[in-house]
Amino acid sequence: MGRVKDSVSSYIRYRFSVQSKFSLHSPFIYKFWADVLKDDTRYPAYSTVKQLRKELLRDDRIIHQVDFGAGQTGRPQDGKTVKVKGIARNSAVSAAKGRFLYKLVKFNQPSGILELGTSLGISALYMSEAAPRANIQTIEGCPETAAIARSNFEKAGKQNISVITGSFDEKLQDVLRLMPKPDLVFIDGNHRKEPTVKYFEECLPHLHAGTIVAMDDIHWSKEMEEAWKTIIAHPKVKVSVDLFYLGVIFFREELSKEDFVLRF
Ligand SMILES: C[S@@+](CC[C@H](N)C(=O)[O-])C[C@H]1O[C@@H](n2cnc3c(N)ncnc32)[C@H](O)[C@@H]1O
C-alpha cells in the first residue's frame, strides 16, 4: 500500500513538473522530443513483437525462476516455479515502452547495445527490429528465462542478439570487455538503489559522448528515485529526461547540464 501511495504522489509531482517543448532550446534534445516522444507512426515492427508477446501471454510452460528482483540484494534467491505467461505479464516492458525503445534506437542508430535484464526478450526484440545490424548483448541471471529468450530470438530470426546468462555482478565486466563502447545501454534489472548506481558507474568509463542510457522504472520506488537522482547528478551526465516510467541520459559535450521532465 505504501508503494502505491508513494507512486501516486510521485506521479502527481511528475505531472505538475512536465515541461513543454518550448523549454527545449537544444536542437538535439528538440529532435529527440520530436522523433522519439512525438512520433506516433505505427511501425510494422510493432506487430511482429506484439505477436510474440501474445504467444508468450498464452504460454503455460512452467519454469524455475531464479529471482533477482527488487527488494533483494542483487544476489540470486532460491526462486520459485512460475508460468511463462506470468513472466510475460509481469516483467516485460509494456507496448508503450517497447515502442519508445524502438524509436530511441532508430533515433540513436547504435552499433552496440547493452541491456541489463533480458527476461523473455521483448525489449531486446523491439531494439533489434529498429537496428537489425546492431550487436545486442543482453544479460539475464535466470538460466531458464534466458533459454526461452534465446529460443524467442531464434524463432524471430534474430542473429544480432546474444544472451549472456549470469548475474550482472559477474557478467557486466565481461560484456563490457566484449563491447567496450556501447552506444545505447538499457538498464532494466535489479530495482534497488545501490546495485543500480553501481551498474551505471561500471558502465560509465565505457560510455562515449554519443551514448544514450535508458533506465527503466525510475519512480518505481523511493530507492529507484534516489538511484535516478544520484545518477543524473554525476558530472559526466549532460542532460537527463524524466519520463516517469523511465529516464533517459545523454552525454553529448555540446549540451549544457540540464534535467528535463517531459510527457511520455
Ligand atoms: C524487468 S525484467 C526485464 C524485462 C525485459 N527487459 C523486457 O522488457 O522484456 C528484469 C530481468 O532482470 C533479471 N535480473 C534482475 N536482477 C539481476 C541481476 N542482478 N543479475 C542478472 N539478472 C538480473 C531478472 O531475472 C529479470 O528477468
Instruction: Supply the pTM of this predicted model.
Output: 0.95
- Structural domain includes residue 23: yes
Given ligand 1 and candidates 118, 125, 202, which is best to mutate, with the most ligand atoms within 8 Å of its CB? 118
Question: What would the pLDDT profile of 204-228 be if each residue is shown by its tens digit?
Answer: 999 999 999 999 999 999 999 999 9
Q: Which atom of ligand 1 is nearest to the CA of 87?
A: 27
Give the domain CATH number at 10. 3.40.50.150
- Structural domain includes residue 34: yes
pLDDT at 149: 98
Q: How confident is the model at residue 79 (pLDDT cuts 50, 70, 90)?
A: confident
- Ligand 1 within 6 A of CB of 98: no
CA distances from 196 to 133, 174, 218, 223, 229 (A): 28, 18, 10, 9, 12
Q: Which atom of ligand 1 is nearest to the CA of 170?
A: 20
- Ligand 1 within 6 A of CB of 144: no
- Ligand 1 within 6 A of CB of 145: yes
Q: How many angstroms separate the alpha carbon of residue 130 from the centre of ligand 1?
A: 21
- Ligand 1 within 6 A of CB of 168: yes
Q: Which atom of ligand 1 is nearest to the CA of 117?
A: 12
Q: How many angstroms separate the alpha carbon of residue 234 from the centre of ligand 1?
A: 25
Q: What is the mean pLDDT of residues 52-74?
A: 83
- Structural domain includes residue 248: yes
- Ligand 1 within 6 A of CB of 141: yes
- Structural domain includes residue 202: yes
Question: What would the pLDDT profile of 246-263 be if each residue is shown by its tens digit?
Answer: 999 999 999 999 999 999
Q: What is the mean pLDDT of residues 4-31?
A: 91
- Structural domain includes residue 64: no
Q: Which residues constitute the domain of residue 122?
A: 2-46+93-261
- Structural domain includes residue 83: no
- Ligand 1 within 6 A of CB of 112: no
Q: Cell triple for residue 206?
A: 565505457
- Structural domain includes residue 257: yes
Query: Measured at the alpha carbon of residue 215, what is the angle toward residues 213 and 218, in degrees to the nearest 5?
Result: 145
Number of domains the chain contains = 1
Q: How many angstroms separate the alpha carbon of residue 252 from the centre of ligand 1?
A: 28
- In SS3 terms, the chain reads as CHHHHHHHHHHHHHHHHCCCHHHCCCHHHHHHHHHHHCCCCCCHHHHHHHHHHHHHCCCCCEEEECCCCCCCCCCCCCCEEEEHHHHHHHCCCCHHHHHHHHHHHHHHCCCEEEEECCCCCHHHHHHHHHCCCCEEEEEECCHHHHHHHHHHHHHCCCCCEEEEECCHHHHHHHHHHHCCCCCEEEECCCCCHHHHHHHHHHHHHHCCCCCEEEEECCCCCHHHHHHHHHHHCCCCCCEEEECCCEEEEECCCCCCCEEEECCC
- Structural domain includes residue 10: yes
More confident residue, 143 or 5: 143
Q: How many angstroms separate the alpha carbon of residue 188 from the centre of ligand 1?
A: 6
What backbone torsions phi and psi does residue 216 show, to the nearest 5 degrees? Answer: -80, 155
- Ligand 1 within 6 A of CB of 68: yes
